[in-house]
Structure 1
Amino acid sequence: MTTYSTTSSGNTIVDGPLSEQTYGRSILPAAAYTDPQEFAREQRMIFSAEWVWAGYTHWVGNEGDVHPVEVAGKPLLIVRDGEGNVNVFHNSCRHRGMVVTQEPIEVTQRIQCAYHCWSYNLDGSLAAAPYFNRERRGAPSPEARRKLGLLPVPSAVWAGMVFVNLSDAPTPFEDVIKPLAERWSHIDFDRLHLARERKFDLAVNWKLAVENFLDFYHLPFVHPQVGPVAASLDVDDVVIDSDVIVGGCYPRGAEGKAKKSEDALPFIGDVPAGKVASQDIFCVFPNALVFLEADWFQVIALSPAAADRTVEHMAVFVDESAADPRFAESVSSLCDVLFHVNEQDIPFLYKLQAGRASDGANHTTLLPSWDQITAMFQTAVAARMGYSK
């Protein structure tokens, strides 16, 4: 059972799944990080069953931009239509099922499959199918056009990200994200400007990347630039939804950094005084890791490719007004720091992955004083996968 108490900063301290758990027992078995069969089950039971991160809206920044992605092993297309909307479709031509494209493309009006030149409008509807009935000027009937468009995938856009749900009966995305959206209601995500983006192809299980992101204990030892151990003590566990959104908040993590000079980055929205110094760090289950300060927003999105391979899509955003050249040095410095922090974690992730081959990996210890949020994440995975305690 999970219980909560509130700190003076308004955050939640967790007395959760570890309070009744004896030391020395993993919530997830080591095989959950190494076994290809368990990875395949995750793709079905987690990534095909609920809302997951699929891409960024800036990947399709202009009308006619088409960006292929893969979610749960399934090829999808993210498309920006003529009305400015972002839509997602199954990347499979309705004739013979060939993927329409495997590379990002920009089209004027139609997306064409190269096999038999069937083409689709940006809203997914079938536009043309030459020699459809074996006649030179033959064309599909209006009924055929309606029935043979690209198959849509339930999708949603929030905070510069694209989420999809491959299940048969998705819960509205707005219901899932609402508590975090309300917490961040002072941020104007429509003003986001991409500062820098990088892709990291890592030989590690995706869950280790999540757990490392939620591990505040390692910060002073792996990232000494964040400050002494005392700095890590000034973090509150925060539970938005124990099944979906968990993380932490440094109420004073950005103190002394905000608005020191004319070149300090502008805030992303109308940030109240009480939130100017805070840092929010959350996992939006299962694969979006988000970090928010008043003047920047970071996403580390995870694309699991195998039991021991994860592609990280890391992006840093600032307010659109920070695109002004006078902020260039500040933006560059910010990005350098954030990407360096991510790079510092990589060798430790590799060692964590290597350790999962040990018999001792089934006897790791989660500390009630540090690892309640990690335990919540593991519990959420275990519940979906049917692992017994």
Structure 2
Amino acid sequence: MPKDSRLADLTAVRAPIEHAHGLPNAHYTDPDIIATETRAALETTWAALAVGADVPAPGDAKPITFLGQPLLLLRDDQNTVRVFYNVCRHRGMILVDTPRRIEGAIRCPYHSWCYAKDGRLVATPHVGGPGQNACDGIDRASLGLVEVASHIWRDVIFVNLSGDAPPFEDIHGDLLHRWAAFDQPLYHGGSDSTFTLDVATNWKLAVENYCESYHLPWVHPGLNSYSRLEDHYHIEEPGHFSGQGSYVYRQLSGVDGARFPDFKDLDAHWETGAEYIALYPNVLLGVHRDHAFAIVLEPVDTTRTREHVHLYYAAPDTDPALRAQNAAQWKEVFEEDIFVVEGMQKGRAATGFDGGRFSPAMDGPTHCFHAWIAARMEMIGD
């Protein structure tokens, strides 16, 4: 692929933070540039698609359109979560159009070709003529559903649409090691522990805002009242993830003093510590002594993002009232960010804006993400 001349300015994005520019406006507004960026940053990496809790029981299926691709999230009879292209191998008909429980086979509504939940083609009625359910040239063994490469970590389902990314564990081994203490069972809180925010912004701005704490005093005054700017530290792993940590996490307490149970065997740091990391490209993660969350960013189009928020706990049965209180508290915090990311998106229409600058003291995590996007674009453009 010849290198697009419009990508030349990205060398300034990868410069040391003291001299770097942010990504140019086109990366938030130009459909052609964003299409190239989508391949570079989302299709050829391990991008977050959904969570295992979206299909909690065997047979549960959920159709998802991701980056324009029709996908089917499915938990099979062996309790394995799989991702397939949601199209029949016969004429490309969409197989499942609404979330539902599949009791038997996946049946195409067009000509009734049927697939097992592991993707095998098991029935082709009348394919050889009336009453003839087999024929030469239709090899069922080679016409199963096309499976998309997937990996699950912390219940987040990652997909590699290009099929050629290195193994997830090889790319993200540093974060797996960093959070090894939390390699424990996670229990989704259920319907009261998930919500979706529709935001009029490019998905990257949601990442950029999440991974820094610089904005806390002005955007999150309630949170900043006890978790101040100086109570945070930067987390930067160039090429992989960035974010922030807090030294002063305060456990939620119910009206009767009830608290969530802790994850087991955590060291002293996590008594009041918490970390919030953007795992590139599009999932935002948080860990605390007693709960965790994952935010899957769905890039709907150039200027729209859906934030799918899921809360998890260390035990399967937690206090419903406390869960609802926790979800409401986090929703309030995340909603406070909406005007910021939408405002930055509107600002990208200013032709006089050159991508902005970074505070060397405060914007390291954000610059880390910009530099990763620039590096991925340069890889695609070479």
TM-score, normalised relative to structure 1:
0.88
Task: Describe the shift of the 1:227–1:44 C-alpha distance in structure 2 as closer, same or farther (beyond 3 A).
Answer: closer
1:124 aligns with 2:119: yes
- Partners in 1 of 2:136 and 2:116 — Cα distance? 16
Per the alignment, residue 347 of structure 2 pairs with: 355
Q: Which residue of 1 aligns with 2:244?
A: 248
Q: Does the aligned pair in 1 maintain the 2:213–2:229 contact within 8 Å?
A: yes
Distance in 1 (CA, whole Å) between partners of 2:329 and 2:251 is 17
Aligned partners of 1:183, 1:363: CA distance in 2, in Å?
32
Instruction: Describe the shift of the 1:296–1:95 C-alpha distance in structure 2 as closer, same or farther (beyond 3 A).
Output: same
Cα distance, 1:227 vs. partner? 2.4
Match of 1:282 in 2: 277
The equivalent of 1:342 in structure 2 is 334
Match of 1:200 in 2: 197
How many Å separate the matches in 2 of 1:230 and 1:264?
19
What percent identity do the matched residue pairs reach?
31
The structural deviation recorded for 1:74 is 1.1
1:64 aligns with 2:55: no
Secondary structure, in 3 states, of the residue corresponding to 2:172? helix
> Contact (CA 8 Å) 1:26, 1:363: kept in 2 or not?
yes
Task: Go from structure 1 to structure 2 and tell me whether the alpha carbon gap of 1:71 and 1:116 turns closer, same or farther (over 3 Å shift).
Answer: same
Pair 1:33 & 2:28 matched: yes
Over aligned residue pairs, what C-alpha RMSD do you find? 2.5
Q: Which amino acid aligns with 1:308?
A: T
Matches within 5 A, 1:160-239: 160-195=155-190, 196-228=193-225, 231-239=228-236
Runs of 4+ in 1 over 6 A off after TM superposition: 258-261
The offset of 1:19, in angstroms, is 4.7
User: 2: distance between equivalents of 1:369 and 1:30?
Assistant: 24
Q: Helix, strand or coil for the counterpart of 2:185?
A: helix
Give the Cα separation in 2 of the matches to 1:262 and 1:228.
21
Paired AA for residue 64 in structure 2: V
Q: CA 1:261/1:269 → structure 2, altered by over 3 Å: closer, same or farther?
A: farther
Cα offset, 1:62, TM superposition = 0.8
Q: Distance in 2 between matches of 1:268 and 1:70?
A: 34
- What secondary structure is seen at the aligned counterpart in 1 of 2:73? strand
1:313 maps to: 308
1:265 Cα deviation (Å)? 0.7
Task: Tell me, yes or no, if the aligned pair for 1:188 and 1:269 is still in contact at 8 Å.
Answer: no
When structure 1 is superposed on structure 2, of 175-184 and 306-315 the one drifting more is 175-184
Once residues 77 and 156 of structure 2 are traced to their aligned partners in structure 1, the CA distance between those partners, rounded to angstroms, is 19
Distance 1:334 1:21, change over 3 A: same
Alpha-carbon spacing, 1:369–1:230, altered in 2? closer, same or farther (3 Å): farther
Shift of 1:367: 0.6
Contact in 2 for aligned 1:254/1:278 (Cα 8 Å)? yes
The alpha-carbon distance between structure 1 residues 38 and 19, as it changes in their structure 2 partners (threshold 3 A), is: closer
**1:368 maps onto 2:360 in alignment:** yes
Q: 1:38, 1:297 → 2: CA distance?
A: 35
> How far, CA to CA, are the matches of 1:138 and 1:215 in structure 2?
59
Distance 1:257 1:329, change over 3 A: closer
Asked if residue 270 in structure 1 is aligned to residue 265 in structure 2, the reply is yes
Deviation at 1:256, TM superposition (A): 6.7
Residues in 2 aligned to 1:125 and 1:142: alpha-carbon distance in whole angstroms: 17
Q: Which amino acid aligns with 1:364?
A: G
Contact 1:288 1:300 in 2 (8 A): yes
Q: Which residue of 1 aligns with 2:8?
A: none
Q: Conserved in 1, the CA contact under 8 Å of 2:14 and 2:375?
A: no
One-letter amino acid of the structure 2 residue matched with residue 383 of structure 1? A
Q: Which amino acid aligns with 2:207?
A: V
Which amino acid counterpart does residue 241 of structure 2 have in structure 1?
I
Aligned-pair distance for 1:260? Answer: 11
For 2:23 and 2:303, the matched residues in 1 are separated by 16
SS in 2 for 1:77: strand
Provide, for residues 268-321 of structure 1, a one-character-per-residue CA deviation record: whole Å limited to 9, x for no partner: 333222222111111110000011111111111111121111111111112234
Question: Could you tell me how far apart the structure 1 residues matched to 2:79 and 2:210 are?
Answer: 33
Distance verdict in 2 for CA 1:230–1:130, change over 3 Å? closer
CA distance in 2, matches of 1:70, 1:270: 40
Q: Secondary structure at the match of 2:212?
A: coil
Structure 1: 5+ residue runs without aligned partners?
Answer: 1-15
Tell me how far 1:261 sits from its aligned partner.
7.7
Distance, in Å, in 1 between the alignment partners of 2:136 and 2:217 is 66
